Amino acid sequence: MRSGRLRLLGAAAAIGLIAAPFATALAQTPMDDPLDARDAKRLDRMENVVRELRDIVFKGQKTGVPVVVEPADTDSRLADVATKVGDLEQSLTKLNGSLETTSHDLDQAKRENTALRAQVKALSDRLAADEQKMDDAVKAAASAAVVPAGPPEPPPPPDPKAAAASANDAFGKARQKMLSGDYDAAETAFSDYVTTYPDTPKTPEARYWWGKTLAVRGDYVKAASAFIGSIRGWPQTAWAPDAVVELGRALVQLKKPADACGTLSELKRRYPKAPPAVEARAATVRLQAKCT
C-alpha cells in the first residue's frame, strides 16, 4: 500500500511538472494576441493528455493499485503494417506476372490450334481429291473393259482316277516322312491331306497318323480331336484299336481321366481281338487314369 501511495505521489508530481510549463506559457501569453489554428490544436491535445494523467492518478489514489504507464508502440505497429503492405504488393506483382504468362500461353495455344485445324482441313481436302480421282479411274477402266459375249465355260469335271492317284501319292509321301522320323514335316503333310481330301477312304487313317505326330509334339488338344475323327464310326481296321488307346492317353494328359476310362471301356467291346501289345498299352493308360 505504501509503495502504491509513493507511485501515486510520483505521478502527481509528474503531472505538476507537465502542467507547470503550460501555466507559465499561458501566463506569459498576452490575452490580446490570439493563437493561430495550429497552436490551438496542439494546446488542446496537451490539455487532453494532462486530463488523462490526472484521471489515472486519481483513480490510483482511490483503488490503491500502482499506476503503470506503458510507452506507446504506435511506430512499431505502423512499421508492421508497412511491412505487410509491402508483402501484399509483392504478392500482387507476382500474381500479375503469372496471369500475364498464362494469358500469353493461352494465346499461343489458340494460335497453334488454329494452325493445326488448317492443316487437318488441307489434308482432308487432299484425301477427298485423291479418292475422287481413284473413283474416276475405276469408272473409266470399267467402262473401257470389254464385255464378254456370254458366260464363261465351266471347268471340266475332275478325273476321278487322277484325283485318287493324287490322293494316294500325297498319303504315301506323308507316311514316308513319318517313318523317317521327320514328325514336323509329317504333321504338315497329314494336315494338308485331311484338308485337301476330307472324304477319301484314306482320310480316317490320315487323321490317325496326324494325331500321332501331334501327340509326339505334346499338342494333346489337337491330337485328341484327330483321334476322335479317325475312330468315328468305329472302323474295322488294323490301326483303329491303337487309335482308341491313343485317344485315352491324350485325355489323361488333358486331365480328363473319366473320359479316358469311358473311351478305354469301348476297346474290348468294339475291338475284342485287339493285339496283345495294344491291350498292354491300354492297361497302362487305365492305371494312369485310375479306372475302376
DSSP-derived letter for residue 212 is: H
Q: Could you tell me if residue 120 is inside a domain?
A: yes
**57 shares a domain with 90:** no
Question: With 0-12 CB in 10 A as exposed, 13-18 as middle and 19+ as buried, what is 216?
Answer: middle
Between these two residues, 182 and 37, which has the higher pLDDT value? 182
Q: Give me the chain's average pLDDT, please.
A: 77
CATH number at residue 223: 1.25.40.10
**46 shares a domain with 97:** no
**108 shares a domain with 175:** no
d(CA 171, CA 194): 10
> Residue 204 in contact with residue 232, Cβ under 8 Å?
yes
d(CA 78, CA 80): 5
Q: Could you tell me if residue 153 is inside a domain?
A: no
**51 shares a domain with 87:** no
User: What is the span of the domain harbouring residue 129?
Assistant: 82-133
Q: Could you tell me if residue 240 is inside a domain?
A: yes
Residue 259: per-residue pLDDT = 96
**97 shares a domain with 31:** no
Between these two residues, 114 and 2, which has the higher pLDDT value? 114
Residue 100: per-residue pLDDT = 76
**271 shares a domain with 175:** yes
Residue 29: per-residue pLDDT = 47
Residue 164: per-residue pLDDT = 81
Q: Could you tell me if residue 45 is inside a domain?
A: yes
Mean pLDDT confidence for 220-230: 96
**97 shares a domain with 58:** no
Helix, strand, or coil here: 73?
A: coil
**55 shares a domain with 107:** no
d(CA 287, CA 285): 5
**281 shares a domain with 220:** yes
Number of domains in the chain: 3
Residue 94: per-residue pLDDT = 80
**90 shares a domain with 59:** no
d(CA 10, CA 56): 12
Q: Could you tell me if residue 70 is inside a domain?
A: no
Mean pLDDT confidence for 212-225: 95
Q: Could you tell me if residue 72 is inside a domain?
A: no
Q: Is the pLDDT of residue 206 over 90?
A: yes
C-alpha cell at 211: 494325331
Q: Could you tell me if residue 181 is inside a domain?
A: yes
d(CA 53, CA 12): 9
C-alpha cell at 48: 487532453
**10 shares a domain with 99:** no
Q: Could you tell me if residue 125 is inside a domain?
A: yes
**86 shares a domain with 59:** no
d(CA 76, CA 82): 10
